Structures are given as C-alpha cells and as structure tokens.
A = this chain, B = another copy of it.
Amino acid sequence: MLSKNKIKFINALKEKKVRTETGLFIIEGDKMVTEVLINKKITVNSLIAIPQWLKKNRYLLHDGIREIAEVTEAEFNKVTSFETPAGVLVILPMPVVTYNENDLAGQLSICLDSIQDPGNLGTIIRIAGWFGIRNIFCSPGCADCFNPKVVQASMGAVLRVGVHYIHLDALLENLCSHDHYSIYGSFLKGESLYERKLSSSGMLVFGNESRGIHPSLKNFIHVPLTIPSFSDVTGHVDSLNVAAAVAIFCSEFFRNKARKAQ
C-alpha cells in the first residue's frame, strides 16, 4: 500500500525542482521497467507495482531493489503519468554523467539549443542511442531529460546516453580550438547534407523548434548544412520536425561508416 506522503512524493518527482533536490526520477511502463530490472547493475530505490504485474514478473526482482511496494490499481492511478497505466513504475537515482573533452574528438556528438518539446528531446535521445552516440549537450533552455515525458519518448535511452546541461557557447568555443574538429549545424539554408563530404566524428548542432540555432552559436559552426526539400508546392514554407532532422543527419553521418564496415 501507498501512504499519503509517498503518493505526494512520487507526484512531486514530476517536477524538475524536486528531481534536482532528491537526485531521483521515475521510469514507468512495463517495457521500460523490465529493461531496467534486467540490468541488475542499476540500483532501484522503489518499485511500485500492482499485484498482477508482480505475480507475472517475479523473476525480475533482485537484491538491488531497495523497496518493493505492492499497491492496488486505485492507488497506482494516483501516481501514474499514463492515460492507460501498465501498473508499474520504478524510482531511480539519476545516472551520473561525465565526459572528457579530449575523448569527443573521435566521436560524433550532438548539441541541442533550447529544444523545448519533451517528445522531441526524448525522441532525439532515442535516436542517439540507436546510432551509438555517447554524448548530447543541452543548453540550459532545453527540456529536462528526466521529465517523465522525455524519459517515455526516449524509451529508456536516457539511461545509456550521457545528457549534459551546459552553456553551449563555452563548449563550442573550446571545441573550435581543437585541430581537425568539425562543428556542423542544421539550418534551413546551407550546403546540401548530401553533397558535403562528412567526417565520422565532430559535433552536430540543432536549434530551437521555432527560432533555430541562436545567433551567438553561429560563429562556432564550421559547416552550415541543410536537408534539401523536394516539395513542389509553392507559396508556403515547408519545415521538418527537429527530431526528424536529427534522424536524417545521424543516418547520413553514419551511413558511410556502415558501408565501410562491410
């Protein structure tokens, strides 16, 4: 059963302020919780579940789960973020993420300037996970990666990709000074993504959903790139969702690697 205080605490974790204070966040849903529990290295502070879920998934329980609370459906409904709850959630410590600037040289990384929609941020983290990208750098104006909607859209990739909140100006200025390090930006006008010879490492910069990349960052971008549009409808401006743009950029940067590896 869940005490009133516990219900209040779980709901409070939906707020960034409380997550920052406690260092905890929530992962909800059958698929994602299963994935968390299978990896026994992940410490779980609390597992909150209805009896049916616990009965079916007893094999997933392990000593690293500090507290297991069996709750009624009515109780679960008081803490869920889902419209159709699966009856299970876990509370976890946020992973501690670090990076070494020198290691970035041999990798492809992503910078996000003020991505505000939680669904977009989560989808971008999921795409990064698919392409094995280790680090995403978010400006302080981005949505919080431990917001339940972001965690959900990331399908748990937020546990595998390092998401760092940092002032992008300072980061890009430093990276600019590294020899042979390329910083690419996604723009509506730029060199065609399909024409440019792309390096297999460097930084991809994407901007806010409406305003694009902030002018202060543009000086640090060596190569402004664009995804060519094939629309033949005149009289309006087509645009691509930023997560779709990230997917296309990542695919284009990794396709050569895939072909060389064969």
Contact = CB atoms under 8 A, between A and B. Distances in A.
Interface of A: 35, 38-39, 119, 123, 126-127, 129-132, 153, 155-157, 160, 192, 194-195, 227-233, 235-236, 238-241, 243-248, 251-252, 254-255, 257-259, 262
Given A127-B241, A130-B240, 9 more contacts: A129-B233, A130-B229, A131-B231, A153-B241, A194-B258, A228-B254, A228-B258, A247-B247, A252-B255
Copies of this chain per assembly: 2
Contacts of A38: 235-236
A132 B258 contact: no
A239 B132 contact: no
A112 to B, nearest CB: 15
Contacts of A157: 238
14 contacts: A119-B119, A123-B243, A129-B231, A132-B229, A157-B238, A160-B231, A192-B258, A195-B259, A230-B257, A240-B247, A241-B243, A244-B244, A251-B251, A251-B252
A230 to B, nearest CB: 4
Contacts of A238: 129-130, 157
